[in-house]
């Protein structure tokens, strides 16, 4: 027995779970449901069934479309879990739906597998519904199943188009990633293809409308533009993410600044030379654990006469215990940024993951400067 769906401020209404993954109905989903009923209701009306028949049929289609979306996203989620990636949530929203999973340690193969099963599930569902439609005798059920089968066929094929944010774009991204060894280049290539798909979508709808010879209605004009806008936005986001990924693919050690670690009970005069050269100084507790960085302004304000007996700890800005970040020797900047983001750190003492030797200090300010300069250099190419 399931508990009633409750609203979630972030994701919508929780309507269930799949293999431990919460499933949400996004707050934007009613928008697409109402649009389906309003647009398709009059077209499905029957003179012998009353005016409400078409709207009820359209509402039934909206419900079955939601089921189709959840099947699509469930396929993504199950394969992601199978490949060892925790899945945070499944959400059905106004653009169809999305599955959020931890792709930190993903690979081109996993990315492609997770992507392809979504549209394949729609194609399989289209075939199953079409087969069921051949044996039903009820006219309403026959009409509704036919619509759902065609919709799943179109959704499956459309999602296989080779451009992000579509699943086909994820496959292209994975192939480029595999060929070049760069995830960022895969995202950029698939993002640019996504922009091409967005333009071609508008062109296809326009040519189809012109060739039909009929006067376009509001739906004819708004729908293709809305789809193209969604594709263009997603593709642009992919290009940007790809460029950032490429810019952060260098070694994490390249952004580290020199760091001197001394006991917090030591006199401030002991680190005057380091502070004068701009080197970071961190105070350590009796066990040798870094507890914070010396505030250069506070240190500069200590009179010369008392600097030897002023403890470093007294001019230290305390940092959280999580600011000590162990990294592998071959870690890339992306890894460091992710850890600092997850722990909400502006400063981090980086230590070797094996020896625990201090490698240096990472600051969000320097990382942003390095990444910004690299992005600017690549944009000017």
Residues 226 and 266 placed together within one structural domain of the fold: no
The residue assigned the tokens 């993504």 is 76
Residues 66 and 17 placed together within one structural domain of the fold: yes
The domain in which residue 110 lies consists of: 1-160
Residues 156 and 196 placed together within one structural domain of the fold: no
Q: Which of 80-94, 96-110, 208-222, 252-266 shows the lowest per-residue confidence on average (mean pLDDT)?
A: 208-222
Residue 197 tokens read as 């798909």
Distance CA(236)–CA(242), nearest Å, equals: 10
Distance CA(373)–CA(54), nearest Å, equals: 58
Residues 243 and 256 placed together within one structural domain of the fold: no
- Could you tell me the sign of the dihedral formed by the alpha carbons of 371, 295, 361, 292, in that order? negative
pLDDT recorded at residue 56: 87
Residues 137 and 42 placed together within one structural domain of the fold: yes
Say which residue, 293 or 380, is predicted with more confidence. Answer: 293
In this prediction, residues 292-309 reach a mean pLDDT of 91
pLDDT recorded at residue 5: 41
Q: What is the pTM of this model?
A: 0.78
Residue 280 binned pLDDT confidence (cut-offs 50, 70, 90): very high
Residues 353 and 288 placed together within one structural domain of the fold: yes
pLDDT recorded at residue 345: 93
Q: How far is CA 5 from CA 34, 77, 274, in A?
A: 20, 21, 59
Q: How far is CA 208 from CA 221, 231, 346, in A?
A: 12, 19, 54
Listed residues 160, 180, 195: the one ending a domain: 160
In this prediction, residues 13-33 reach a mean pLDDT of 87
> What does pLDDT average to over the chain?
88
**DSSP structural state of residue 349:** E
The residue annotated as part of the active site, out of 52, 73, 139, 257, is 73
Say which residue, 219 or 25, is predicted with more confidence. Answer: 25
pLDDT recorded at residue 191: 96
Residues 229 and 297 placed together within one structural domain of the fold: no
Listed residues 247, 281, 301: the one ending a domain: 247
Residue 376 binned pLDDT confidence (cut-offs 50, 70, 90): confident
Residue 132 binned pLDDT confidence (cut-offs 50, 70, 90): very high
Cα angle 159, 165, 168 (rounded to 5 degrees) comes to 40
In this prediction, residues 92-107 reach a mean pLDDT of 81
268: three-class secondary structure by DSSP: helix
351: three-class secondary structure by DSSP: strand
When divided into structural domains, the chain yields a total of 3
Listed residues 194, 228, 247: the one ending a domain: 247
Residues 241 and 298 placed together within one structural domain of the fold: no
Q: Burial of 294 by CB count in 10 Å (0-12 exposed, 13-18 middle, 19+ buried)?
A: buried
Other CB atoms within a 10 A radius of the CB of residue 30 amount to 13
Q: How far is CA 220 from CA 53, 89, 206, 225, 276, in A?
A: 24, 34, 9, 9, 68
Residue 1 binned pLDDT confidence (cut-offs 50, 70, 90): very low
Pairing of strands 259-263, 280-284: parallel
What would you report as the CA-atom Rg of the chain, rounded to the nearest whole angstrom?
28
Q: How far is CA 291 from CA 125, 265, 307, 350, in A?
A: 58, 12, 20, 13
The residue assigned the tokens 């870094």 is 290
- Percentage of the chain lying above the pLDDT 70 cut: 94
Residues 208 and 100 placed together within one structural domain of the fold: no
pLDDT at 157 over 50: yes
Distance CA(14)–CA(8), nearest Å, equals: 7
Span 38-83, pLDDT tens digits: 877 777 777 677 778 888 888 888 888 899 999 999 999 999 999 9
CATH of the domain at 362: 3.10.580.10
pLDDT at 212 over 90: no
Distance CA(375)–CA(185), nearest Å, equals: 13
The residue assigned the tokens 């609203």 is 7
pLDDT at 121 over 50: yes
365 catalytic? Reply is no
In this prediction, residues 267-296 reach a mean pLDDT of 91
pLDDT recorded at residue 220: 67
> Of 8-22, 92-106, 298-312, where does the model show the most confidence?
298-312
pLDDT recorded at residue 329: 83
In this prediction, residues 330-337 reach a mean pLDDT of 89
Q: Name the H helices within the chain.
A: 29-40, 52-82, 108-133, 139-159, 167-180, 183-212, 218-247, 272-276, 296-300, 333-342, 364-379
Residues 156 and 302 placed together within one structural domain of the fold: no
pLDDT at 86 over 70: yes
Span 161-202, pLDDT tens digits: 999 999 999 999 999 999 999 999 999 999 999 999 999 998
pLDDT recorded at residue 7: 43
């Amino acid at each position: 027995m399931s508990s009633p769906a409750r609203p979630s401020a972030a994701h919508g209404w929780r309507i269930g779970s799949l293999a431990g993954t919460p499933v949400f109905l996004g707050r934007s989903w009613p928008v697409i449901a109402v649009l389906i009923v309003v647009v398709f209701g009059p077209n499905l009306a029957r003179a012998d069934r009353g005016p409400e028949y078409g709207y009820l049929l359209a509402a039934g289609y909206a419900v079955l479309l939601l089921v189709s979306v959840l099947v699509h996203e469930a396929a993504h989620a199950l394969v992601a879990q199978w490949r060892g990636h925790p899945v945070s949530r499944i959400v059905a929203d106004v653009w169809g739906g999305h599955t959020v999973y931890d792709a930190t340690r993903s690979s081109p193969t996993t990315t492609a597998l997770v992507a392809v099963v979504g549209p394949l599930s729609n194609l399989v569902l289209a075939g199953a519904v079409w087969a069921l439609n051949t044996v039903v005798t009820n006219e309403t059920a026959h009409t509704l199943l036919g619509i759902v089968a065609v919709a799943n066929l179109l959704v499956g094929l459309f999602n296989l188009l080779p451009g992000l944010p579509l699943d086909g774009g994820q496959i292209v991204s994975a192939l480029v990633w595999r060929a070049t060894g760069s995830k960022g280049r895969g995202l950029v290539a698939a993002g640019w293809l996504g922009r091409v798909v967005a333009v071609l979508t508008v062109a296809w709808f326009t040519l189809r409308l012109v060739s039909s010879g009929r006067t376009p209605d509001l739906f004819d004009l708004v729908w293709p533009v809305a789809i193209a806008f969604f594709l263009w936005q997603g593709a642009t986001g992919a290009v940007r993410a790809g460029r950032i990924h490429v810019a952060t693919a260098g070694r994490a050690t390249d952004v580290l600044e020199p760091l001197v670690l001394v006991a917090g009970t030591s006199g401030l005069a002991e680190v005057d030379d380091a502070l004068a050269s701009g080197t970071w100084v961190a105070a350590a507790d009796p066990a040798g654990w870094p507890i914070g960085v010396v505030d250069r302004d506070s240190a500069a304000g200590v009179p010369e006469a008392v600097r030897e007996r002023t403890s470093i700890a007294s001019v230290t800005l305390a940092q959280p215990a999580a600011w000590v970040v162990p990294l592998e020797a071959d870690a890339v900047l992306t890894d460091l940024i992710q850890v600092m983001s997850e722990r909400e750190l502006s400063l981090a003492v980086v230590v070797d993951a094996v020896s625990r030797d201090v490698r240096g200090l990472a600051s969000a300010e320097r990382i942003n400067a390095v990444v910004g300069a690299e992005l600017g250099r690549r944009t000017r190419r």
